[in-house]
Amino acid sequence: MRLPSHYISAALVGVFSHVAYFKSGEHHLHGVFYLKLLFITITTGTAVLSHLKGTVWTGFMTAISLTGAYLLGLYGSLLVYRIFLHPLRKVPGPFGARLSTAWIATQLENNNQHTKLLELHRQYGPFVRIGSSDISVIHPKALDIVYGPNSRCFKGISYDMSYPEVSLQLMRNPAQHHARRRVWSGAFSDKLLRGYEQRIRGYREKLVARLSEMSMSGQPVNIRKWFSLYSFDVMGDLSFGEGFGSLERGEEHWAIQLLNAFVDPIGLFLPTWAFVLLAATPGLSGDFWKFPAFCKEKMVARFTNNPEIPDISSSLISPLKGRSLSELSLDEQNLLYSDARVIVIAGSDTTSGALSAIFYELVRHPEEIEKLRAELEPFANGATREFLHSTIAQLDHLNGIINEALRLYPAVPSALQRQTPPEGVIIDGVHVPGETHIFCPLYCIGRSELAYARPEEFIPERWYKWPELVKEKAAFMPFSAGEFNCIGRPLALMNLRTTVARLVMEFDIEFAPGEDGSRFLGDAKDNFVFYFGHLNLVFTRR
């Protein structure tokens, strides 16, 4: 049966639109516009064709058929290009990954991208195509090329997930990011870090008190929960001058509950255009915006309330030169409110996850606790068993334990996306084409024989005593690197060191009866940040 020429013409227009327009450039932010354009085209076509064909129904069906022919030509051309002509066509990987960026999302079970990528790399090698224009690389030399200070790569489109909302963490433009980072950098001076240490100590006392209460009653402690309550209280204080009251109540603040409800969808790792469409759909994201509204409300109150001990917000507010909120431009206000959310979110889940991973490994390796106590004992501050960070910051075994936990359980296991420059990059002789989205999943690299000897084992001494167990130092990048690295690294390490030291010296720690630790990793989720399963431990005062 011969197709009418107008259907063939529509299909050819679809092929042309792909080759001339859709094949290059970024289109993920235009989904709503394209859908409106499609609706307008069908509606207008129906009206015109109804006049020519005599009936509305005939006109509508003809418009739909022509649209279908156009889309068939568009997507047919796209699939031919991705399968046979794409610059990544020679990179090994599953056939389905050639077809769509959404392929990886269809392969996940319980938000397990970290383990899925590990499985793919063990099957296909250090370079794996995981999407139509996406590649995952675990060669240890890739990290400096992709993320390092001299990298020519830049942030990919996944950072537009909440567009038009923008913050330091989400800024893709290097010049814009650099200017904003200068504002943030003042928040992490040595002087201010000493002030943060004093503020954090009060919340650590509350944590110790709650653990002691549960110890006396013989109640097991779900450390994932309690470290989360602790971390959010700390970052609430450093953001807005007061905690969320979570440790006192023993439960999450309602705003944090709302935030956590939207963490799982992130771990689906849908294409960015899908997230943008969902965010623009009325009724689908209403609750999500309640958390930003809460942060805005808290920042408005914080703006005119200067604490005695400066917090991180002090550095963000300082450059505004004493102006009132009403005198700030809308862009200045939105950036301030967005960055307030970054303080809370980026500093909370990452720290609580790292603490959970550290104690998971310490309980599995009690001999490491004894080594750590012997190292810490000379630096304990009297009966309080508190530690000044300056006295323990350089302790070998303490840092070895933290590094090993971050190697095996990086805060961001797989999702640090970068885009290669137009000329591409070369990694160990392999050319990665330009405008490719590239990932170097730290969870997989931490388990790679290319980077580490005995990579599956927890060996703190590899970081100071047995350097031969670290084959490639550049592979260890838990806080990323270069101009987009984690600016809160000094604060995170200070909190980790002092909290681990205090708890190890204060308590004997072991698995709760019936606990074997299997749920901790078995139920772990890669929701951009690592979220572990439950782990019940018993804390007993020493």
Q: How confident is the model at residue 468 (pLDDT cuts 50, 70, 90)?
A: very high
The average pLDDT across 190-196 equals: 92
Gyration radius (Cα) of the chain, Å: 26
- Of the pLDDT bands very low, low, confident and very high (cuts 50, 70, 90), residue 292 is confident
Amino acid at 222: N
Q: What stretches of 67-212 adopt beta strand conformation (E)? A: 127-131, 134-137, 154-155
Give residue-wise pLDDT tens across range 207-233: 999 999 998 888 999 999 999 999 999
Computed over every residue of the chain, the mean pLDDT equals: 92
pLDDT digits (tens, 9 = 90+) for 434-451: 999 999 999 999 999 999
Q: pLDDT tens-digit profile of 151-167?
A: 999 999 999 988 877 88
* Tens digit of each residue's pLDDT (9 = 90 or more) over 411-433: 999 999 999 999 999 999 999 99
pLDDT tens by residue, 357-399 = 999 999 999 999 999 999 999 998 766 778 999 999 999 999 9
Stronger pLDDT, 347 or 507, i.e. the higher one? 507
Ramachandran sector of residue 167 (left: φ over 0; alpha: ψ -120 to 50; beta: rest)? beta
d(CA 189, CA 184): 10
Residue 2's pLDDT is what? 53
Q: What is the pLDDT of residues 94-137, one digit of tens each?
A: 999 999 999 999 999 999 999 999 999 999 999 999 999 999 99
Q: Name the band, by pLDDT with cuts 50, 70 and 90, for residue 287.
A: low
- Cα–Cα distance measured from residue 64 to residue 58, given in angstroms and rounded to the nearest whole number: 10
In this prediction, residue 1 carries a pLDDT of: 46
Quote the CA–CA distance of 252 and 228 in Å, as a whole number.
8
Angle among Cα 428, 429, 431 to the nearest 5 degrees reads 110
Cβ–Cβ contacts within 10 Å for residue 24, how many?
Answer: 9
**In three state form, how does the secondary structure of 255-312 look?**
HHHHHHHCHHHHCCCCCHHHHHHHHHCCCCCCCCCHHHHHHHHHHHHHHCCCCCCCCH
H or E, element range at 445: helix 442-445
At 323-336, the pLDDT tens digits run 888 888 988 888 99
Each residue's pLDDT tens digit, 268-281: 999 999 988 887 77
**Closest C-alpha to 231, from 394, 356, 114:** 356
- What stretch of H or E contains 419? strand 417-419
